[in-house]
């Protein structure tokens, strides 16, 4: 099911969505004093292909997701699509207004806080982590930049924690860890590479990021997310509730797929997410994540120098890069989008924006540990940014090879 609003809410028929022309972009975007400005693309994007987007969501349901939904914010226009249910027990339909756990999209929030601190002169990205957290790590060569770009070589403890999906989750569902507990789990294993030598995704890095935030500010990460990002942007659906277990307000339940084929889905909605914290414990909505990433690339959250640092890309694949707490995806139509993916038990999130911030999409499927759904949801980016001319039958059916989740990244999905 698709719907759209323009300006203050004029409804449009779904058939017309792919025919809407996107107006030419203005030359520049505005920014807060002292923050970055961006030159907008001179070439307007093709209109979002909402028929293709809805097809992606229906495919995710056929592959095992109870529900899937997306919101596209396009320079004053809003399009939403939703299929399936938010709650299997009641049958309530999923809605793009539902809140959900955003998993590793949290990493972008953590990075923004640290880069703001760098802009305030309180943090040097190329200083050793041990400068700020003496004795935490076994190698003084591991810098803050290495941590934020996943080039520290610190082993990801979630590979062991969730090697068995449901038993691993149930063992930590209500557990509360300290940051130090999680770092110790990582350091019990050999490092994956020398500092700076290679990209190797690890949740340990952003546990360290949370420790840095709290050490440098003297406040909890919840306080810093709230004062530096949530309140300034008016994000009414965004929360850091750790160690509480519930999602406040209207939300989509999450359903974890067991490793055993045919086994019943596990309702994983209520959990501390203490195994992730600053690496993946935030809650948000499609509207708020669209607002966040659009504001980020428009320079509303970071000074120009720090935003440029965030977008220094380390190659991941031939079509993907990783900056500082930020992913880049190169799409079939020749444009690149930036944002982050998110996995937490029961939820897959894709949240990406055009490089000028004028079009943003957030898509959510309320399941996880399902490689088919993970790959399928990646196709929401093609539909949202490349338009009908690019989302041919061939591109609709060709799923990117994600293979790895943001948790237990060493485990290959099938």
**So which residues are the catalytic ones?**
104
Of 302, 260, 147, 259, give the one whose Cα is nearest residue 209. 147
Could you give the strand order of the β-sheet that contains 266-267, starting from the edge strand earlier in sequence? 266-267, 255-256, 367-368
> Both tokens of residue 194?
């020398």
Peptide bond into 389 cis (omega under 30): no
DSSP readout, 70-133? Answer: EEEEETTEEEEEEEEBS-TTT-PBP-TT-BEE-GGGHHHHHHHHHHHHHHTTS--TTSBHHHHS
Give backbone dihedrals phi and psi of 54, rounded to 5 degrees, phi first.
-65, -35
Beta bridge partners, 5, equal 11, 78
Q: Can you spell out the DSSP letters for 364-388? A: EESEES-HHHHHHHHTHHHHHHH-T
d(CA 82, CA 400): 22
Q: For helices 371-378 and 50-62, what crossing angle results, to 10°?
A: 180
How far apart are the C-alpha atoms of 48 and 380, rounded to whole Å?
Answer: 10
Beta bridge partners of 350: 341, 363
Distance CA 367, CA 289 (A): 19
Structure token digits, residue 152:
């520290």
CA–CA distance, 336 with 172 (Å, rounded to integer) = 37
Tokens standing for residue 153:
């070589």
Half-sphere exposure of 131 (CA within 13 A, CB side): 13
Integer CA distances (angstroms), 214 to 98, 113, 120, in order: 30, 10, 15
């Amino acid at each position: 099911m698709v719907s759209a609003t323009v300006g203050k809410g004029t409804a449009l028929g779904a058939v017309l969505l792919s025919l809407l022309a996107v107006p030419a972009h203005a030359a520049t975007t505005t920014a807060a004093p002292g923050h970055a400005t961006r030159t907008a693309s001179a070439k307007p994007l093709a209109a979002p292909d909402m028929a293709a987007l809805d097809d992606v969501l229906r495919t995710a349901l056929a592959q095992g997701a109870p529900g899937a939904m997306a919101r596209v914010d396009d320079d004053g226009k809003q399009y939403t699509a939703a299929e399936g249910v938010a709650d299997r027990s009641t049958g309530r339909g999923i809605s793009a207004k539902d809140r959900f756990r955003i998993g590793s999209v949290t990493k972008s929030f953590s990075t923004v806080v640290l880069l703001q601190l760098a802009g305030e002169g309180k943090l040097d990205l190329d200083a050793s982590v041990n400068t700020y957290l003496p004795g935490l790590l076994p190698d003084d060569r591991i810098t803050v930049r290495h941590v934020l770009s996943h080039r520290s070589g610190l082993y990801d403890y979630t590979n062991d924690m969730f090697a068995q999906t449901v038993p691993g989750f149930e063992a930590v569902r209500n557990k509360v860890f300290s940051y130090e507990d999680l770092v110790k789990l990582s350091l019990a294993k050999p490092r994956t590479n020398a500092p700076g030598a290679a990209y190797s995704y690890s949740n340990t890095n952003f546990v360290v990021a949370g420790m840095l935030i709290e050490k440098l500010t003297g406040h909890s990460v919840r306080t810093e997310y709230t004062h530096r990002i949530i309140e300034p942007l008016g994000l009414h659906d965004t929360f850091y509730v750790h160690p509480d277990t519930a999602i406040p307000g209207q939300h989509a339940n999450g359903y974890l797929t067991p490793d055993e084929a045919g086994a019943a889905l596990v309702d994983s909605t209520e959990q501390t997410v203490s195994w992730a914290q600053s690496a993946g414990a935030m809650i948000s909505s499609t509207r708020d994540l669209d607002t966040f990433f659009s504001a980020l690339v428009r320079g509303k959250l970071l000074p120009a120098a720090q935003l440029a640092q965030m977008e220094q890309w380390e190659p991941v694949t031939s079509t993907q890069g990783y900056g500082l707490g930020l992913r880049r995806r190169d799409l079939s139509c020749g444009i690149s989008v930036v944002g982050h993916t998110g996995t937490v038990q029961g939820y897959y999130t894709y949240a990406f924006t055009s490089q000028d911030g004028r079009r943003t999409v957030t898509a959510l499927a309320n399941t996880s540990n399902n490689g088919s759904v993970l790959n399928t949801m990646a196709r929401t980016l093609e539909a949202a940014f490349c338009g009908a001319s690019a989302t041919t039958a061939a591109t609709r059916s060709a799923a990117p090879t994600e293979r790895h989740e943001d948790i237990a990244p060493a485990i290959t999905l099938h």
